[in-house]
Structure 1
Amino acid sequence: MKRRSFLHAGALALPLITAGGAWAQSYPTRNVRIVVPVAAGGSADKLARILAQQLSEQWKHSVVVENVPGASGAIGTLQVVRAPGDGHTLLLGGDQLAVSLAIGSQLAYDARKDLKGIVKAVVNPQLLVARPGLGVKDFAGYVDLLKKRPGEVTLALPGGKGSLQHLAVEMLNARLGLRTNNIPYPGGGPATLDVLGGHIDTMLITLAAATQNVRSGKLVALAVTTPTRSKALPEVPTLQELGVAGYVVESWQGLLAPAATPSALIAQLNRDVVGVLRRPDITAQLEDLGFNLSAGTSAEVDKTIAEDATAYKKVVQQANIQST
């Protein structure tokens, strides 16, 4: 009887997989950490905190957001790659994972092998903005200023050198035959502060990170990079409308886990997070900020990283962007 009791107790302590493949262990068993590999205040940070609040209530354990900026997201990402695959350390990642692969950055990990996608939560337009004091009221005025001051107009890159914003700006400058003075930042928060403070002239940033400042008049919105206008700022034209034919840049953000995370736990995480994202109140909140809901399968994340890395590599070569 003692041996039988011991075995029974031991079995209860182990993760269980039901016949249907569901994760039957009580998850989470402690606080969950969401690593955001950029500085606080940007769109990734906003998304992470919305998810953390809702998942904390659902899981009955605190979900803590930790900003770990640096090296174009590599420092925070590496922390997740090296974490146990038990679902208690997650990454709020996105297009930078593919961009780093395309550039050939010398990283201690390969996102295609060392991370597993949980959910591609949202896709985002990038928004070109200017500080009001610059005197630029629209995209035509921006182009005129670049012509008058070639290479002098400063432009913040919230994702740093080698980010999606960097690729997008180089693509746009090449199409216009003009130059900007690009200034790298470790995230949307500090980049926005410098534009608001008048230290930087312009910025290309995820729309959701700038929506409130545009609505309040603190930033002047010039154009979005997607083929259609954003519901959050419907008055802002697309670059295609403004004559930059075929120009499209769209970023994404979602959750990922260490590669060792069991597939059954990935499936549960996907169900839980998608359930939050598709709640009408949360969807409305995200769309009002400027996000476009995706909320797809876990496999979609892995596929997006692989396909984007291939597509971005062509842009990197054309713009001659070097790894950092």
Structure 2
Amino acid sequence: MNSITLGDVEVIRVEETHGPVGLTADQFIPETPDGTWQRHEPLLVPDHLDPTDQLVQVAMQSWVLRSDGRTILIDTGVGNDKDRPLVPVWNQRTDGGYLTNLERAGIRAEDVDLVVNTHLHVDHVGWNTRLVDGEWVPTFPNATYLMPRADFEFWNPDKNPNVAGGVNEFVYEDSVAPVHAAGQVQLWEDEYLIDAALRLTAAPGHTPGSSVLTLESGTDRALFAGDLLHSPVQIPQPELNSCFCEDPEAARAVRRQLLGWAADHSALLLPAHFSGAGALTIEHAGAGFAVGAWAPFATL
């Protein structure tokens, strides 16, 4: 299956790509104590870690929600035709498969009502725009794009010179500013209610504007976790951060808090980048957490 229904909300998984992004496990999560990856191999191999070369395996994907008569797209992957010099596998991509996969799921670009960027990292905003006659235009012409104000300001290179030479170089210019110029961006802070079932909440740490989307409908609960975690190794050891976390202490605190909420509420956890099943439940386990059960989604 590539979709499930939670309460009154349909949830669809649409993949852009999956596989290695050129970082070993110790590069991706550099604070990991010796032996950690080997100890957790049953949790990680083969979907999240290649044991031969120790390369982390990740998915670039969107979660699409049909709720209260609207189509809501959570995060938009890497995109095509973008200059991404620090990540060769993403640089000037031309595969074209993402929009086709959306259409296979019954979702045309013009049907999307809301785009939620959980944060404004390179791999969450790429399909915000597409290249048409040499100009970046919004991919989803009828959508409002919900962007956290803190990230909108932080990643603006006119305000933050550290963007130059980093993984988010050129991202604001080609994937954020054109949507804002088109009048399709709504900035939000702290909390934003999408409808009676869906709520965006600030979860800063990974980036200043990182957020999560909570679904509460009927007896069902789900947490669309963005980059709260990148690898299942962070479930038993939530103190571990990726190399891309801007505020390490805040990232640890919010990860532990939200994993605890998921465990307490029997909520389905849907991270942005988990390959394989893609979704799971969480249980308390000593000082950390454990996987309760995987909830397998096929991909489109």
TM superposition score normalised by structure 2: 0.30
Greater fraction of residues in helix: 1
Which has the bigger relative contact order, CA under 8 A and spacing at least 6?
Answer: 1
Q: TM-score, normalised by structure 1?
A: 0.28
Larger radius of gyration: 1
Higher fraction of strand: 2
